[in-house]
Amino acid sequence: MSSDNPSLPATPLPRVGQQTAWRDFLSFTRQRGGFQLGLAIVALSLGLAVFGPHIGPYPTETALPGMPLQPPSWRHWMGTDVSNMDIFSRVIAAPRIDLTIALVSTAIAFAGGVALGVISGFFGGGRGVPKLLSEGIMRAADIIQAFPVFIFALALVGFRGPGTENVIAALAFLNIPYFLRITRGAVLQVRERPFVEAQRCAGNSEWRIAFVHVMPNALTPPLANISPTIGFSILLTSGLSFVGAGVPVPTPEWGSMIAIGAPNMMTGQWWTALFPGLVLGIVILGYALVGDGLKEFLDPVNKR
Amino acid sequence: MAPILELRELSVSYETQGGARAVLSKLSLDVSAGEALGIVGESGSGKTVLVRSILGLLDPPFRTDHGTVVFEGRDLRQLDEQSFRQLRGGSIALTTPEPRKHLNPLISIGRQIVNVLRAHQTLAEQAARTRTIELLRAVGIPDPERRLAAYPHELSGGMCQRVIIAMALAHQTKLLLVDEPTAGLDVTISRQILDLMHELAVSHGTALMLVSRDLGVVAHYCRRVAVMYDGRIVEDAPVEAFFAGPAHPYSRQLLRAAAASRGKRGAEKRVDALAEPARTGCPFRPRCPVAVAACATAVPALQQVAAGRRARCLRAEALLRQELAA
Amino acid sequence: MAATLLQVSDLTKIFPVGGGHQLKAVSEVSFTIRRGEALALVGESGSGKTTTGRCLLRLIEPTAGHIQFDGVDILAQTQRQFRALRPRMQMVFQEPYDSLSPRMRVGRIIEEPLRMLPELDAAERQRRALEVLGMVRLGRAAYDRYPHQFSAGQQQRIGIARALVTRPDLVLLDEPTSALDVSVRAEILDLLSDLQAELGLAYLFISHDLTAVRRVCQRVAIMYLGRIVETGETEQIFEAPLHPYSRALLSSVLYPDPASRLSRYVLTGEIPSPIDLPQGCHLASRCPMVEPRCRSAYPPMDRFGEGRSVACYRAQEMRALGGLTTH
């Protein structure tokens, strides 16, 4: 018996689990070109969100003197738009607003969706108030998801008027059921494992079991879906801005840039909408690639 | 009696990222016609791999590197897939744990047995049906005419195991490989199944190779026992002599572990039952209470220690003498 | 004689299975466990042994019956009140790895039940955790590691340490060795015996592994289709069972000794479905001793000497069959 020396082990042992996880991640990444590309795009987009508005060669929200609609040249790599603003400067400044909206709304959707998913999954099939709560959550999610996403987003923003906060709120609201369902599926599996029962024997309350013991073991699927959701949110933000229900002009934003440029496409000034659209597509692709990679990496079936 | 199965220096390895790992190391073993041989070992000893390698059923990353598997004078490793298929379910049959998983859930059991019958011989549908009913009756399935139409999920685990045995008996099976016959079955049911296998083997003159971690099964249903540790046979002895006093320290640990009472440990030193097999010298050394310096130099040979008994241990003869004295 | 620790009377658990049918998993089960005593609850699939155990810890709520733990009627308590008793009734699970939270360190896993004892501070909790790690012969190095870094046998030791950290009176062992290899199984069984003697623990040992039961427990209760058919001292019952089912079950055990010959007692057929069981003795359809009254009413538990009870009309005649061992 070790009660003869009740003091702590002098040096904490190395955190073996975390070290190997990091090493696994590196070797996983090394074998997958698509995942590397995705990571590079995501890193670049995050970098532009921070520094983009400051590193462009021209101001992003004021018209330059001279002729509008200049084609791409050494002075204006992506040309200028109908107000004679430099498209390149605006394209690299756009992540500031687009990514902020996507990240904040996804974070809110993740937190809300996971919490509701744990509640509805853990208490589903039970009895009494928690069961009603669980059922209520699922029906609400059904209702939200019954509408076409874009139309619903449009309606929400239309209701409160355009503006960054309102776009964030609409996107978060729309993505909650998505995280909720994924989390609920994972919780339904985890709650059947014997360690949950062991925690009951350890005197934990049901709420504590749900959030302290079950939730950490059900986070993998929702975590893997953060990245594609960010991509999707960027797309939706641009979509809303394109129809004028999103970020108001002249804030540099890909969707509104495409909208501004679209009429000029018809008259031969192809660069006005092409470059924002191209960058938008590449960024969404990057987030999708990272999401796919993470899904594969976090899937226990692929481990060993 | 002449052996019907002779394994000679059979080596199987397992491909890992860090290189190949031996699962069976130069394993040699004979099974005589009509004999009941028990193979005993814990998980990781290689006993299931042994059974599957006899039937040529090993899939990558497992690989048979070396050795011969001679059945009735033919080296099975030289056979083409066509002739091998004729042999499997014909002269050699296999029963596995979790019998239900080895039956097709979408086909009635009657149809499955008929398929096995007609795969190996030309038989009219009606004749095959009649034979199937006979077989089901022979393995103790009540009301066989009606059960023909039953699907695996409608039968209990014990009944599914009986169906598997019926398939194994569909032909003049010379060798029945039985992998973990008691796994997943209740005590009384597994006893019924073992009795059935035993009776059928005796009446048909079938040799049994019974792979189990349960020493009780081996004690009562086998005449000879081979103990495996780390891909090698460490002891091979007649059942009576083995249970009276095993020659290998590992066998002694197994026997003591399986007993219904705790027994006396004596003055033997405590060892770590979880220690990994050693990579040099005798693999059992880290768990061995009687290891000496010489055990670290090489893997001991499987040598004769008494009439009809072989053991892979430098101390075997000393241990047997000690056993006799006690 | 030591004091009664747990008294279970007429415990019944009925599961509705749809279509108006019922599965009576446990019916009118009664038994007692004294302080420091190991009682085995044995039986085959569908016997209700696991359900009984889970009712005791209120992991499922029984349909009827009483459970007195150290004089307290635990079924009269709310789950919240019962939480105060949990430290005294702990459990070891069948699956060594799956019963440990995979993302927690061993130290935290073991200390988790101590949250029920708020008077302990962090240092004391850690001292206790290290103490039980020592008791189960795992070093203190285990404290900072994760469950997946251990072998199945070591994981089961962690599970035992967690069950002991609150210094319980009763530990429910639910098939604690069925997932383990032979030699590891023996180590765990011996450890459980040692701990029982050292700490004066009472065990309810739920198992279908009859040699394990014989090795660890002082008393046995044999269950068949939701009912206890026989209880008594382990050796008495293993030597000369009086109920036809116990006799069939115990004569099927294969001891690792070719010289041990048990006189076989064979029941025909397989265990029937536990759904909508007919009146009368549940064994009636398979029993060689069956007579008309067996089919009309379930036989009462009759006493046969000190601590021995059998639920069979013909137990007296079974006695004439004598012991199982033949020479």
Mean pLDDT of chain C: 90
Three-class DSSP category at B208:
strand
| Chain A (250-289) residues lying within 8 Å, Cβ to Cβ, of chain C | none
pLDDT: which is higher, C1 or B216: B216
Going by pLDDT thresholds of 50, 70 and 90, the confidence category of residue A132 is confident
| Chain B (196-215) residues lying within 8 Å, Cβ to Cβ, of chain C | 213-215
What backbone torsions phi and psi does residue C299 show, to the nearest 5 degrees?
-65, 145
User: Which residues on chain A are in Cβ contact (under 8 Å) with C126?
Assistant: 8
What is the amino acid identity at position C207?
A: S
Binary contact (A202, C146; C-beta < 8 A): no
Q: For residue C46, give both structure tokens.
A: 């569908």
Going by pLDDT thresholds of 50, 70 and 90, the confidence category of residue A6 is very low
Binary contact (B42, C181; C-beta < 8 A): yes
Which tens digits make up the pLDDT trace of B276-293? Answer: 788 888 888 888 888 888
Among A3, A8, A198, the residue with its CB nearest the CB of C93 is A198
Q: For residue C85, give both structure tokens.
A: 């008793």
Average pLDDT value for residue range B140-165: 85
Average pLDDT value for residue range C264-277: 81
Burial call B234-263: b when 16+ CB within 10 Å, e when fewer: bbbbbbebbbebbbbbbbbbbbbbbbbeee
User: Which residues on chain B are in Cβ contact (under 8 Å) with C253?
Assistant: 187, 216, 260
State the pLDDT at residue C234.
Answer: 93
| Chain A (181-240) residues lying within 8 Å, Cβ to Cβ, of chain C | 193-195, 197-205, 213, 216-217
Average pLDDT value for residue range A7-18: 41
Looking at the complex, report in whole angstroms how far the Cα of residue C43 sits from the nearest Cα belonging to chain B: 9
Average pLDDT value for residue range B284-304: 86
Three-class DSSP category at A46:
helix
Non-local CB neighbours of B212 within 8 Å, separated by 6+ positions: B38, B39, B40, B178, B180, B181, B182, B218
Residue percentage of chain B with pLDDT more than 70: 95
Q: For residue A228, give both structure tokens.
A: 């594609």
What is the amino acid identity at position C48?
A: G
- Give me the interface pTM, i.e. the ipTM: 0.86
Non-local CB neighbours of C256 within 8 Å, separated by 6+ positions: B215, B216, B218, B219, B243, B255, B258, B259
Which tens digits make up the pLDDT trace of C238-253? Answer: 999 999 999 999 999 8
User: Which residues on chain B are in Cβ contact (under 8 Å) with C243?
Assistant: none
State the pLDDT at residue B271.
Answer: 62
What is the pairing mode between strands B232-238 and C64-69?
unpaired
Going by pLDDT thresholds of 50, 70 and 90, the confidence category of residue C2 is low
- A13: pLDDT strictly greater than 60: no
Rounded CA Rg of chain A: 24
- B250: pLDDT strictly greater than 60: yes
Fill in the DSSP letter of residue C78: -
Top mean pLDDT of B3-7, B46-50, C184-188, C204-208 is at: C204-208
User: Which residues on chain B are in Cβ contact (under 8 Å) with C150?
Assistant: none
Which tens digits make up the pLDDT trace of A193-205? Answer: 889 989 888 888 8
Q: For residue B56, give both structure tokens.
A: 């040529």
Which tens digits make up the pLDDT trace of A89-126? Answer: 888 888 888 888 899 999 999 999 999 999 998 988 76
Average pLDDT value for residue range B56-83: 84
Residue B240 at interface with chain C, using a CB cutoff of 8 Å: yes
Residue percentage of chain C with pLDDT more than 70: 99
- B265: pLDDT strictly greater than 80: no
DSSP C249-283: HHTT---S-TT-EE------S-PPPSBTPPSS-TT
State the pLDDT at residue A99.
Answer: 87
Average pLDDT value for residue range B188-197: 86
Binary contact (C257, B240; C-beta < 8 A): no
Q: Which of B225, B265, B249, B252 is nearest to B314 (CA)?
A: B249
Q: Is the peptide bond between B3 and the residue preceding it cis, with omega within 30 degrees of 0?
A: no
What is the amino acid identity at position B144?
A: P
- A10: pLDDT strictly greater than 50: no
Neighbours of chain C (3+ CB pairs under 8 A): A, B
Residue B216 at interface with chain C, using a CB cutoff of 8 Å: yes
Average pLDDT value for residue range C124-153: 90
Looking at the complex, report in whole angstroms how far the Cα of residue B156 sits from the nearest Cα belonging to chain C: 9
Which tens digits make up the pLDDT trace of A163-189? Answer: 788 888 888 888 999 999 999 999 999
State the pLDDT at residue C56.
Answer: 93
Mean pLDDT of chain A: 82
- C1: pLDDT strictly greater than 60: no
Determine the residue of chain C that is closest to A6 in CA distance. C127
State the pLDDT at residue C9.
Answer: 94
Top mean pLDDT of A145-159, B1-15, B107-121, C20-34 is at: C20-34
User: Which residues on chain B are in Cβ contact (under 8 Å) with C252?
Assistant: 187-188, 190-191
Query: Burial of A33 by CB count in 10 Å (0-12 exposed, 13-18 middle, 19+ buried)?
Result: exposed
Say what the pTM is.
0.84
Q: Is the dihedral of CA C286, C292, C297, C300 positive or negative?
A: negative
d(CA A87, CA A93): 10
